[in-house]
Amino acid sequence: MSDVVLIDWGGGNIGSVRYALERLGARAVLSADPDMIAAAKRVILPGVGAAAPAMARLRSLGLVEPIRRLQQPLLGICLGMQLLYESSAEGDVECLGLLPGRIARLQPAPEIRVPHMGWNRLQHRGAADLLDGIDDGAHAYFVHGYAAPVSADTLATATHGDTFAAVVGRGSCFGAQFHPERSAAAGSRLLANFLAMEAA
């Protein structure tokens, strides 16, 4: 059995996420097979792109309900994190509904460019296993134009004009708005922490 299955729906960052996991010694498998995903110890939903076509692709692959039924640790990355929520303003689409809330567009302002691209600081909102060993204020690399609101599920925030959820968690469901595979030591540690998680 693989250490982690990456859901292979066509998300643009899936290869770099796999390489980052393999650098940590993990056996990472790409799959769009519902049975293989259901049997995995841990599952990652990567993603780059837009919410509406991503959800359409997951539906066409028959993966929406299998993802919703997962009990093992699940990590959404970038767009994959946004898809964990109930809905997104990007295309006004219903998403997976594993986390409450709606993804909203980041608001541009003087000296605030959208999409948000580049390094930004993570601000912790309390202790969390996923953030173990990652300093409050550590830098992570972001590329996104939409974001999740800060809520009770927010483990860390970042600020680009508005403050938004940068890392989230509820039960065995987690998300990182930034790209851990491109975030040097902080990103590597987050992935290592996820690989250490066991099913509840």
Would you name the residues annotated as active-site residues?
78, 179, 181
Structure tokens at 134: 């990652």
The structure tokens listed for 178 are 């930034």
Q: Token pair for residue 99?
A: 């986390």
Phi, psi angle pair for 29, to nearest 5°: -120, 135
CB atoms within 10 A of CB 12: 12
Q: What residues does 123 pair with on adjacent strands?
A: 157
Residues 6+ positions from 36 with CB-CB distance below 8 Å: 5, 29
In DSSP terms, 112 is beta-bridged to 109
Ordered alpha helix ranges (H), 40-134: 51-60, 64-68, 79-82
